[in-house]
Every structure is written in C-alpha cells, then in structure tokens.
C-alpha cells in the first residue's frame, strides 16, 4: 500500500503552494490533488431561504474569488448545472494558468453505460471549454434504469455489470488523456469490489460524504488499502440547508463541543471540522460562495487538534438520521 502523504502543511497565503496528495491507480504518474477544494453543488433541498442555490452566475463569481484567494481545486458535475459559469471564470482570469487549476467533474447522475459515459464527458468538456479534466468521477453507483443504450444497463439486476461497463469507458477516457485521473463517488465497498474484480485499473479517488455525524471509517480503511484517495464532501454537514430537513436538533457547527474546541484554538467551528478531517489524511470539498468562509477554509494549516479533541469529535452523539445525502444501496 502506498502511504498518502500530505505535503507542505503551511498556512496558505496568496501565491503559496496548496498542500496536496499524490494520486495513484488510474492517475497520470506524478499527478497531485490539492487537499482543499471548493464544492459547487447547491440545490433547493429545503425551504430554508438561506440555502446557497448555485447557478452559472453564482459559480462564475465564486470560482473567481476562490482562485484569487489561492484555491486551486474546483469540484463540479454535469448535474450541478453550473459548469459553463465555471468555465467562464477559468477563462476570464489570467493570473492562474489552466495547468495549475485542478478540475473535478462527474458523469453518471443520469443513465450509466459505456457510450453514455463517453457522451457525458463530451458535454462536460464543452461546458467547461477545456480539452481535459484533471479528475473524472462516476457520480453514483446505481444506474438510472431508463434511456441507457448499454445492454448491460437495462435492468436493476444488472447493476454490477452496468458499473463495470461504465468503468471500461472511464478507463478509455483516462488512456485518451481527456481525464488525467478517473475515480468514483458515493461508492461503498461492494461497489468498489465490482471494479476490483475486473483485474484492471482501480479508481484514483472515491468521493464520499464525511463529517462527525457520518464517517464510514471502514470504507476509508478499505480505500487506503487500495491506494484510493478518500475525498470528503459535506464536511461541515451543509449548515446552509438547516437541520430541519434531516431531523437534526442542531447543525454540527453549533455543537458546544465544536465551539469550545474552536475557541481554544482561536479558529471557527468550520475550521475545526475541516482540520479534523484533514488530520485523517482526507481531502475536502467544503462548499461556499462566501469569500470570508472561503478564506477560512484555506486557513486550517497552522494548528493541530489534540488527540483528545479528535477523539471527542469522533464520538459526538449521532442523530437518528445522520446522513445529509441518500445512502446508496449495496446492489
């Protein structure tokens, strides 16, 4: 097993090099992934009027601010409906060359399948106006059982075969250079095992929800054993959605424990949660269009949690419904 090493753990200032991890498996040799990225998915999940609702204009403004602050990784998807705005932001600024920007996008929110995967990549590249993405992921392990032309993706009983057929297209994309690395998102161990069983390339990354209420540490260990980088999303528990839609009594950021730890370190609760995940050698995708919050997210490299603080965060009481996003079945 290759050890994932987080390098250059220094306070990030404009012009400083972003800490990064090496990618392995289905990744270009020497490719590194910045440990901190900006998530750009904002849906109307709840009636909370404060929720961040992203579109092309929001994404364009946010990505420009992110790059100006020193951020270099952007996480998007064909499903997010904001890739043209992200493409405009990357093209309109001249301070950061394309090769210094790490773009992650995703296929498979709609129909999975070999040709479907190839076709969706064409749309992604056209929307972003780029000849390649740095990382391409299969967004969801379960196919949508409609509109797929792939014979392996016609019925629910074919889920394993459909994932494998889609992964063959991902391998072709990787070998063509249109993605410098390919991986998956929301894959549980059984889904990953379908790819392992192909005896071919393994994913470079698995992007999965991870925060104090929901942390699948057995899945992290499985990925680490296979040199798959574990990329977290919703590391703050999506506080802008409000706790009500999932039945939480309070946002993770409002837990007294998190606030007490933040006070001790003269940091914000969000910075404490991000640091907790970073110290587990994970890479992160906090989402925000707020420049102050973006700057805070980039300023987590100058302090450390004590082992007792980390353990207390590990053990916070979980609500009855601890997960932000739906759980993908193991079919």
Q: What is the number of other CB atoms lying within 10 angstroms of the CB of residue 227?
A: 18
Q: Which of 109, 99, 164 is nearest to 133 (CA)?
A: 99
- Cβ atoms 196, 226 nearer than 8 A: yes
- Provide the Cα torsion 91, 92, 95, 99; round to 10°: -10
Both structure tokens of 297 = 């997210």
Say how far apart CA 185 and CA 233 lie, in whole Å: 10
Residue 84, H or E segment: helix 83-92
- Cβ atoms 207, 220 nearer than 8 A: no
Both structure tokens of 91 = 């093209």
Both structure tokens of 327 = 């759980």
Selecting among 43, 80, 114, 213, the annotated active-site residue is 80
Partnered with residue 230 across adjacent β-strands are: 206
Residue 80 is among the residues annotated as catalytic for this protein: yes
Both structure tokens of 254 = 């409002």
Q: Which of 155, 225, 217 is nearest to 193 (CA)?
A: 225
- As to burial, measured by CB atoms within 10 angstroms (0-12 exposed, 13-18 middle, 19+ buried), residue 26 is buried
Catalytic machinery residues:
80
């Amino acid at each position: 097993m290759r050890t994932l090493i987080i390098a250059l753990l220094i306070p990030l200032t404009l012009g400083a090099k972003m800490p990064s991890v090496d990618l392995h498996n289905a990744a270009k040799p020497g490719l590194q992934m910045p440990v901190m990225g900006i998530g750009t998915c904002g849906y109307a999940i709840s009636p909370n009027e404060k929720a961040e609702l992203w579109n092309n204009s929001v994404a364009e403004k946010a990505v420009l601010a992110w790059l100006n602050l020193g951020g270099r990784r952007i996480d998007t998807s064909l499903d997010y409906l904001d890739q043209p705005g992200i493409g405009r932001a990357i093209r309109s600024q001249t301070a950061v060359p394309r090769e210094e920007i790490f773009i992650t996008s995703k296929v498979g929110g709609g129909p999975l399948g070999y040709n479907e995967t190839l076709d969706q990549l064409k749309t992604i590249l056209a929307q972003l106006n780029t000849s390649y993405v740095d990382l391409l992921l299969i967004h969801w392990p379960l196919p949508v059982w409609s509109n797929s032309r792939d014979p392996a993706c016609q019925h629910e009983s074919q889920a394993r075969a459909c994932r494998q057929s889609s992964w063959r297209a991902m391998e072709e994309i990787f070998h063509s250079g249109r993605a410098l690395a390919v991986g998956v998102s929301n894959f549980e161990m059984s889904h990953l095992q379908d790819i392992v069983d192909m005896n071919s390339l393994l994913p470079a990354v698995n992007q999965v929800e991870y925060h104090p209420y929901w942390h699948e540490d057995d899945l992290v260990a499985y990925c680490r054993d296979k040199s798959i980088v574990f990329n977290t999303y919703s590391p703050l528990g999506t506080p802008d959605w409000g706790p009500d839609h999932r039945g939480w009594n309070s946002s993770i950021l409002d837990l007294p424990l998190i606030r007490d730890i933040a006070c001790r370190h003269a940091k914000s609760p969000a910075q404490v949660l991000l640091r907790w995940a970073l110290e587990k050698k994970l890479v992160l995708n906090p989402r925000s269009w707020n420049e102050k919050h973006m700057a805070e997210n980039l300023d987590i490299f100058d302090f450390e949690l004590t082992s007792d603080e980390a353990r207390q965060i590990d053990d916070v009481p979980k609500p009855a419904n601890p997960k932000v996003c739906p759980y993908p079945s193991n079919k």
